[in-house]
């Protein structure tokens, strides 16, 4: 009698190439997030508060536009070469900010860095997926999310703290060097051939309501995230120096933790059930952040907003992936990332037009109110289907 077959051996997630990719993720994340809340302060030092969001907006709009063009670049030079170009464009232009503060210079540098970041996201994302065994892709991407989330969680508030303590120059020098360090990992990123299959265009995805509804819910929260990253440090100027860095740290930490939790809950109970709680927390957190005179309320609001943002990050992306075949994954990635970046850009630029007229408190409350239609959409989505 033959023995019963044992359990199938699952392939290991970690490989040497994936560990190299983790290194490049960490340093590219530092290069992107370290100056993200600092550049508006730099621009504000050279102009009016209303212009401070132009740099963040320019960076994110350039990112969205270049994300659409990057697949053509990758098809010509390959993933690793494209990633190398993206890392160089993400880091080196920051050295230009060592010059006298200038709003046009800040916007121009941000645009070039946005192009670099877009190439890193598209080419690097494809590389990452190719380095994870298909049988363990979900678990592997969760690990990748944590590896990417921790440096972003730390770099955002550390950038503000370092700028307050040592000035802008040290932040911009580290910003330039970090992606250059990541360049050294590119030769070790050996990848498999891309899987065959018909590609689905972005335009067809834009006409698909099953994809656009969760994308719209997430984009509303991303608009508020753009407001927080760009204007919270400015709104808290004149108060205790610790509040802005701590609030930004708490916000990103809460988003990282709840994104992981959302993945575990969503796999068991469905993703749509997380849309309403995520949107409610985003609105509540943004409302609390409007009380800028209370440091504890600001920090608590940052935690609540970050928790809602993290829930929506994971739930909307997983839900969109579940509604397309494998050949449509690239369309989902394009729509979700474009919604993320465009939402942050709209928040950064839009609030700049309001702040000079109504002040930070009213502008933050209007941002919270602008998410209410997304709450109604999330409720309809949750009650209609899973």
In this predicted structure, what is the pLDDT of residue 191? Answer: 58
Asked whether 221 and 368 are in contact (CB, 8 A), the reply is: no
* Nearest residue to 176 (alpha-carbon basis) of 68, 96, 241: 96
pTM: 0.74
What does the pLDDT read at residue 136? 61
| pLDDT of res. 1 | 46
Q: CA–CA separation, 97 vs 278, rounded Å?
A: 37
Distance CA 129, CA 183 (A): 19
Which of 1.20.1530.20, 1.10.1020.10, 1.20.1250.20, 3.40.50.300 would CATH assign to domain 15-195? 1.20.1250.20
Query: What values do phi and psi take at 162, rounded to 5?
Result: -65, -40
- In the chain, where the domains are located: 15-195, 198-385
pLDDT at residue 240, as a whole number:
79
pLDDT at position 27 is 93
**Would the CATH topology of 15-195 be identical to that of 198-385?**
yes
Q: For residues 249 and 237, what is the distance between their CA atoms, to the nearest angstrom?
A: 17
- Residues whose CB is less than 8 angstroms from the CB of residue 304 and which lie 6 or more positions away in sequence, other chains included: 254, 281, 284, 285, 288
Q: Which CATH number fits domain 198-385: 2.40.30.20, 1.20.1250.20, 3.20.20.140, 3.50.30.50?
A: 1.20.1250.20
Spatial separation of the C-alpha atoms in residues 179 and 39, rounded to whole Å: 17
* pLDDT value at residue 251: 92
| CB burial of residue 65 (10 Å; 0-12, 13-18, 19+) | middle
- Per-residue pLDDT at 278: 95
List the chain pLDDT tens, one digit each, 386 residues.
Answer: 445 454 556 677 788 888 888 999 999 999 999 998 888 888 777 765 656 677 877 887 888 888 777 767 776 787 788 889 999 999 999 999 898 778 888 889 999 999 999 888 877 776 776 777 765 655 666 677 778 878 877 888 899 899 988 988 999 999 999 999 999 998 888 755 444 444 555 677 778 888 899 999 999 999 999 889 888 888 888 777 788 889 988 998 898 888 878 777 876 777 788 999 999 999 999 999 999 889 999 999 999 999 999 899 888 887 887 787 756 666 677 788 888 888 888 888 787 778 777 888 999 999 999 999 999 999 988 887 54
Q: Cα separation of 333 and 359, whole Å?
A: 36
């Amino acid at each position: 009698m033959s023995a019963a077959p044992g359990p199938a051996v699952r392939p290991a997630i970690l490989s040497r190439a994936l560990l190299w990719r983790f290194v490049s993720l960490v340093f590219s994340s530092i290069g992107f997030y370290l100056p993200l809340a600092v550049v508006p302060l730099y621009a504000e030092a050279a102009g009016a508060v209303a212009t401070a969001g132009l740099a963040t907006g320019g960076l994110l709009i350039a990112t969205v536009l270049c994300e659409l063009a990057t697949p053509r670049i990758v098809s010509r030079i390959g993933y690793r070469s494209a990633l190398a170009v993206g890392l160089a464009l993400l880091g080196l232009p920051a050295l230009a900010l060592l010059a006298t503060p200038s709003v046009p210079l800040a916007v121009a540098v941000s645009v070039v860095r946005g192009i670099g970041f877009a190439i890193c996201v598209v080419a690097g994302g494809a590389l990452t997926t190719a380095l994870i065994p298909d049988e363990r892709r979900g678990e592997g991407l969760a690990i990748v999310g944590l590896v990417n989330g921790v440096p972003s969680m730390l770099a955002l508030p550390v950038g503000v703290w370092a700028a307050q303590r040592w000035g802008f120059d040290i932040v911009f020098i580290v910003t330039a060097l970090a992606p250059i360090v990541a360049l050294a990992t590119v030769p070790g990123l050996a990848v498999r051939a891309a899987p065959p299959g018909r590609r689905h265009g972005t335009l067809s995805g834009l006409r698909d309501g099953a994809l656009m509804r969760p994308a719209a819910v997430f984009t509303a929260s991303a608009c508020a995230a753009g407001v927080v990253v760009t204007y919270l440090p400015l709104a808290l100027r004149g108060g205790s120096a610790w509040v802005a860095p701590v609030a930004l740290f708490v916000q990103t930490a809460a988003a990282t933790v709840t994104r992981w939790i959302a993945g575990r809950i969503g796999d068991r109970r469905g993703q749509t059930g997380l849309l309403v709680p995520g949107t409610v927390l985003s609105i509540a957190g943004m409302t609390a952040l409007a009380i800028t005179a209370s440091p504890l309320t600001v920090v608590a609001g940052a935690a609540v907003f970050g928790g809602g943002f993290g829930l929506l990050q994971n739930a909307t992306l997983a839900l969109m992936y579940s509604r397309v075949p494998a050949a449509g994954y690239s369309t989902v990635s394009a729509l979700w990332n474009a919604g993320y970046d465009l939402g942050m850009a709209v928040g950064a630029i839009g609030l700049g037009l309001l702040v000079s007229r109504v002040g930070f408190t009213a502008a933050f409350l209007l941002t919270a109110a602008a998410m209410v239609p997304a709450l109604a959409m999330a409720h309809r989505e949750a009650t209609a289907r899973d």
